[in-house]
Structure 1
Amino acid sequence: MPAELEVTFAPVSGRSANGSAMPAFDGNASASQTMATAATPSTITAGSQDFARIVNSGDAALYVAVGTTPDASTAPRWFLGVGDMLILNCPDGGKVSFVAK
């Protein structure tokens, strides 16, 4: 299996002011996409108040970037091991890109 990333954008409920509780996704996702082409930003974009759930569903460790024009080949970026998941606050209009480590 090649490198692959699953991206889901969704608003959340229960946001904590002091960070003591993990926010929970609302019942309906805004958008989702499975990405298999490295270094190409996602075709879906985050909406207002969306968080991104990013899952490495492939067989290679990845670097991931989030933003309006993300570039995962340079810092700043996130490391995502095989099977790992991140939930990040995503800016309105934000996209995701990745490259294999």
Structure 2
Amino acid sequence: MPAELEVTFAPVSGRSSNGSAMPAFDGSATASETMVIAATPSNIMAGTQDFARLVNSGDTALYVALGKSPNAAATPRWFLGVGQSLVLSCGEGGKVAFVSK
């Protein structure tokens, strides 16, 4: 299986002011996509007040970046091990990109 990243943008509820609780995704996603081509930004983009849920569903560790023009080969970026997921706040129009570790 190649490197693969599942991206879902959705509004959330239950935000914590001190970061002790992860936000819970609301009922319907704004957009979702499975990415298999490294270093290419997602086709989908975040809406207003969306969060991004990133799931590494491939067989290699990844670095991921989030932004208007994301570059996962440079910082700032996040590490995402095989099978791990990450929920990040995302500005409107934000996209995701990944590279293999």
TMscore range, shorter length: over 0.9
Partner of 1:70: 70
In 2: Cα distance, 1:25 partner to 1:35 partner: 20
In 2: Cα distance, 1:18 partner to 1:73 partner: 30
Q: What is the DSSP-based 3-state SS (H/G/I as helix, E as strand, rest coil) of the residue aligned with 1:88? A: strand
Partner of 1:44: 44
Partner of 2:56: 56
Question: TM-score, with normalisation over the residues of structure 1?
Answer: 0.96
Gaps of 5+ in 1: none
CA offsets, 1:32-62, max 9 Å, x none?
Answer: 0000000000000000110000000000110
Q: AA paired with 1:25?
A: F
Partner of 1:96: 96
Q: Percent identity?
A: 74
Question: TM-score, with normalisation over the residues of structure 2?
Answer: 0.96
